[in-house]
Structure 1
Amino acid sequence: MSEQIVAERAGNDVDELCRTHLPLVHFEVRAIGARLPGHVFTDDLVSAGMAALAMAARSFDASLGVPFGRYAVRRIRGALLDELRSADWATRSLRSKVRRRDAVHDALAASLGRRPSPAEVAGELGCSVAELERLDADLHASVVLRLDVITDVSGGGGAADAILPSTDATPEMVLMARERQAYLRDAIEALPQRLATVVRGCFFEDRPMRELADELGVTESRISQMRAEALRLLRDGMNSQLDPEMLPGGAGVAAGVGGGAPTGAVARRKAAYYAQIAARSSYRDRLSMPTADEAAAAASMIG
């Protein structure tokens, strides 16, 4: 048998393996595509999978006793992951922060029985809401979109700007951020003195728990308990002003917010705390208060 005939037969075997097992590529692309964001273009994944299938068919050795389908699937999956990594502009540290953010978000949602607010997620992570928003902005900035897809969908470059992620805050978002931060400031000032000291020490002054424990004459575990208690109060205090329906027991828990007079010593103390928050600043004062980012920008300009 001549070498040309052997080569032609080998080529026919490769073509037959590729045609027979082509559905493997589409199956693996669908399986991995179900867990991907919408901006990922699956045609690129299909191309990478087909190339991997062809490479597997050329290098397959039937004498090893391994079925070709099992061998090809491993090569296809590896090629799909390599294609995704090559298209990902996000750094490992950014991906790690996003995974931690998502894990905290899911844990809070499970414990609270609702979608947690950005302030709650930021509090659990030990960062500010502004830092959490910057994390989202950095993640959006790492997204790479195909220009031909943008052109096909939008019909032109001008409309494509509406598809690309924007990190600019709208006037409505700025006002909402000012109001949330103003209520947070008022809620901290209305806390009992020892709890306020723990909150300021942990989140604003970056003081270690041992130092706070020595100052207040308690143990570190007690500081941790006080921190958790203060965060619960802050969460309920802000909800009493921004969304009373999210309070435990509904809107009627807060005095003067859709319900009668609270009963029980704990309920009365909470109602008094909510009333202090409401009375600390006016609506105009809250909306005129600069956000943390605005204050930092103004300070840098003055400096």
Structure 2
Amino acid sequence: MTATHDGLGVDHLITSNMPLVGHIVRETMGRVPSHVNRDDLTSAGLTALVQAAQAFDAERGVPFERYAATRIRGAIVDELRSVDWASRSVRRRARDLDDTRSRLASSLGRTPSVAEVASAMGLSPDEVVANDDDVSRAQVLSLQGATTSSLDELLPTQAPSPEQLVEHQEKLAYLVEAIAELPERLRVVVQDYFFAERPMADIAADLGVTDSRISQMRAEALVLLRDALNNALEPSLVKQSGKPGGCASRRREAYFAAVAARHAEGARRSPQVTAQLSRQVAAPVAPAPRRLDVAG
């Protein structure tokens, strides 16, 4: 295929190779966690396709499809890295720790202790725990994995039983209250990204930060939301975060207490008022908002 640098030639390269983006995104989605947003990867791939069409030089003898595929895959990898809270060094050490644990488990016939893993790696136990904590905070999990019930069960069915309706209303109330009690900037990110479906770049511009920082703030907010729901409904699922008694731990506990206090106050409201609060927290709501994920 020969490319020209006029608009017609570039447009033809883009439109005729758009299925290539879909193919690479599908291929990538099969190797990444389910929380990864397909639309974000597709957007990154399409942007790379446009850039590839504009920069393509047929005289180099490389087929456009091969050239574009390389650019698209690179852009998708960059997108995945931008939403990964853990650094490459943390991921690399995590892989080394996993390999060491597997090797020790095979030789010992049991799960090795933190001290045994640390000794085999030449690290201190605190370093092993710290790396595990970093990976845990970076791991984003679906809301469907945050509680014992799936997200579908949080929504009313066509013919809900009274018990299901009460359970749904309570969980929805906790989610609304948890969002309302988030620190202001985190709440803005959640509302704008998931409910208003605004692009990260626009949110970043409003808050005066980078796109990468918005990704981090989103992940931080979702960790708090997941832990707030679990603290209220399934306390055994709440993981210790940070140093016990430290500033971060105290802030988390204060947040949980604020959510509980708001819920206690909300329990005295009528269902109509609770529904109104739900609309206020979610406003402005898009017709089909993004799936709300939480970070683990």
Tell me the TM-score normalized by structure 1.
Answer: 0.42
Higher relative contact order (CA 8 A, sep 6+): 2
**Rg (Cα) greater in structure:** 1
Taking structure 2 as the reference length, what is the TM-score of the superposition? 0.43
Please state which structure has a larger fraction of its residues in helix.
1
